[in-house]
Structures are given as structure tokens and as C-alpha cells.
């Protein structure tokens, strides 16, 4: 164990090794030790960047620490998420968000800020008029056929939270629903993951939460709902950004030209005046859109929640 004052100069290879062994003796796993070492590196690297120190010691990664594996959803898992989103009016904004995200490979913040005025013809212009492009480029993407019906008739902000009004409001002749703009979708998305897990637990879209010591967490019984036993506290597996990784990987596996994937994702390296007109070409992102429709066909093997018009009937939004 390390005692006394610690200086940057005292953070040697032997000190780091001793710290790692000490934590292991406490029964701590490699992943936790790896996070501990990140806490060491953070302030040291900051001090180096701010020129408070002239050099920084190398703090090696703990051996055996597993690298983070990014989650990827299968078409069947996406189908379950869409089903869960469509099952409740207050989650329909998650459904539309997922449809746009998986159809365009757009950035999450660009989708959440999207206004109907940015939908022009058969293109979505994720960078609004008058907004300066930043390092995180916002792309122009053709509207995939499966997505197109979901965008018909939208005005104002595209992604809006929608919830039912009270019975009293409705009895008095008020609206059945109210809408408000939203800039965050994380909690609603996780609710969909948990609901999808309840409906189809074999898909592994959620798990029971644990504390720092890996003990399972439970919530008290809801007596008003007739529960008599505690229920597991669940957490969803993945996040809205998992959709971006999912569709990115799908396109790569299908052999879509990397330049098209990058252009849709906002990673395009095109420069010069010609780049401003590339999106006007008829063949613009042609393979990308074909691959997107192939993805929706794969999802269609498990649900019809991605289709706005089913058997000639219009699905209400």
C-alpha cells in the first residue's frame, strides 16, 4: 500500500505494479483496476497538457484487462426494440428516432435537432441552413424508401415526445395527447430495451443491475399493482449510439464502399467546390441506400413495426 505524499516523479513502474498487486489482493478485478489506473492518468495528462509538468510517466495498462467490446444489435433485436417503441405512445419518438438513425447513419445530435424544413425533396440535410459545419460534419443523405412514409406530414421539430393527457383533460374535451420537444432520448430508449427484454428475454437486450460488489439489485414490490415480492432492477444493454454502430457494421459487411458509409456518417473527406454538389447526382449513395433497404428487409423477417403502411392501412402516429 502507498502511504504519504505522492508526486508525479514518484509514480514509477514499480509503484504502479505494487498498486496493481495491492488491488488484486483486495479481490478487485482487472477491469476495475484498469479504471483505477485511468484515474491516475487523467490528472497527470492534464498537467502535462497545461504545461504544469514537463514530462509524464507511462502508466501501463493492467494485464488481462478486457478491451471494451462495442455492442451491436441484430436485425431481430432491432425488430424487438421497434415493437417495444410502437407499443406505447410515449415511446413513439424512440421509434421514429431509430428509423431515421438506421436509415441514414446520421449523428444522434443531428437527428434530435432535425427540423422538417431540413427535409427537402428526397434528401435529409442534417446541417440546418445557416448552421456552420463543425469538425463533426453533418451529412446530406437520400431518404430510403422504408423511411419515407414516416416523414410525410411532419412539421416543426421531427423528434417530439408524445404522451397521453389525463382522463380529466380528455373528459373536458381537451386533446388526447400532448407533445413537447426533446433533446435527449437515452432514458426512453433504455425503457424500450427493458420492455423488449420482457417480451423476448432470449434476445438479451437487458440484464439485472448490480452494485460495485456485483450483488444483484432489487426494487421494492409495487403494492398498488398487486406485487408481493421485490422485482429485479433492470438495465438496458446498449444505447442510442449502438444503432449507429449497428448500421455502420451492417454496411461494411455488405461491401458498401467505405466512401459512401463515411459520407452518410459525416466522415467524408471530400473537399473543394465539387463536394458541395455531389449529393445532387442521381447515383449519390446508391449502394448505401440499397444496403439500408436490405437491412429493413432483414428486420422485416421479425416484425412489421418498420412499415408505416401495412396491408393498405395507415399506421397512426
Instruction: Give the cell for residue 197.
Output: 427484454
Q: What is the pLDDT of residues 94-149, one digit of tens each?
A: 999 999 999 999 999 999 999 999 999 999 999 998 888 887 888 899 999 999 99
* Sign (positive or negative) of CA dihedral 285, 289, 291, 295: positive
pLDDT winner (highest mean) among 154-163, 275-284, 300-309: 300-309
Strands 123-125 and 160-164 turn out to be: unpaired
Integer Cα distance of 282 and 101 in angstroms: 22
- Angstrom CA distances, 80 to 24, 95, 199, 218, 249, stand at 40, 11, 8, 25, 19
Residue 270: its pLDDT value, please? 53
The predicted model scores a pTM of: 0.72
Q: How confident is the model at residue 48 (pLDDT cuts 50, 70, 90)?
A: confident
> Mean of the per-residue pLDDT values for the chain?
84
Does residue 10 register a pLDDT over 50? yes
Q: What is the pLDDT of residues 180-213, one digit of tens each?
A: 778 889 999 999 999 999 999 999 999 999 888 7
Which residue from 126, 192, 116 is spatially nearest to 157, judged by alpha carbons?
116
- Angstrom CA distances, 3 to 15, 16, 91, stand at 11, 13, 52
Q: Helix H segments across 209-272?
A: 240-253, 258-265
Q: What is the pLDDT of residues 253-297, one digit of tens each?
A: 999 999 999 989 888 655 443 445 566 676 789 999 999 999 999
Residue 317: its pLDDT value, please? 46
Amino acid at each position: 500500500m502507498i502511504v504519504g505524499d505522492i508526486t508525479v516523479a514518484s509514480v514509477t513502474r514499480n509503484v504502479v505494479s505494487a498498486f496493481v498487486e495491492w488491488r488484486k489482493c483486495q479481490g478487485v478485478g482487472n477491469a476495475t483496476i484498469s479504471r483505477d489506473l485511468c484515474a491516475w492518468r487523467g490528472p497527470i495528462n492534464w498537467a502535462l497538457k497545461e504545461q504544469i509538468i514537463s514530462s509524464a510517466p507511462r502508466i501501463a495498462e493492467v494485464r488481462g484487462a478486457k478491451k471494451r467490446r462495442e455492442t451491436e444489435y441484430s436485425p431481430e433485436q432491432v425488430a424487438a426494440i421497434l415493437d417495444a417503441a410502437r407499443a406505447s405512445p410515449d415511446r413513439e419518438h424512440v421509434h421514429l428516432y431509430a428509423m431515421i438513425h438506421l436509415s441514414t447513419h446520421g449523428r444522434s445530435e443531428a437527428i434530435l435537432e432535425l427540423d422538417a424544413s431540413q427535409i427537402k425533396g428526397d434528401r435529409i440535410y442534417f446541417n440546418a441552413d445557416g448552421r456552420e459545419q463543425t469538425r463533426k460534419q453533418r451529412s446530406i443523405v437520400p431518404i430510403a424508401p422504408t423511411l419515407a412514409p414516416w416523414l410525410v406530414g411532419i412539421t416543426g421539430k421531427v423528434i417530439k415526445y408524445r404522451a397521453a393527457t389525463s382522463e380529466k383533460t380528455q373528459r373536458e374535451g381537451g386533446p388526447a395527447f400532448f407533445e413537447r420537444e426533446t433533446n435527449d432520448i437515452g432514458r426512453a430508449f433504455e425503457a424500450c430495451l427493458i420492455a423488449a427484454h420482457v417480451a423476448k428475454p432470449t434476445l438479451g437486450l437487458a440484464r439485472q443491475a448490480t452494485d460495485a460488489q456485483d450483488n444483484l439489485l432489487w426494487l421494492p414490490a409495487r403494492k398498488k399493482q398487486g406485487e408481493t415480492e421485490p422485482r429485479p432492477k433492470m438495465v438496458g444493454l446498449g444505447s442510442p449510439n449502438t444503432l449507429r454502430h449497428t448500421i455502420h457494421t451492417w454496411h461494411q459487411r455488405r461491401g458498401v464502399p467505405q466512401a459512401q458509409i463515411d459520407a452518410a456518417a459525416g466522415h467524408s473527406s471530400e473537399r473543394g467546390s465539387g463536394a458541395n454538389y455531389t449529393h445532387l447526382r442521381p447515383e449519390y449513395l446508391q449502394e448505401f441506400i440499397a444496403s439500408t433497404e436490405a437491412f429493413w428487409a432483414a428486420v422485416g423477417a421479425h416484425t412489421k413495426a418498420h412499415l408505416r403502411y401495412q396491408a393498405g392501412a395507415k399506421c397512426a402516429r
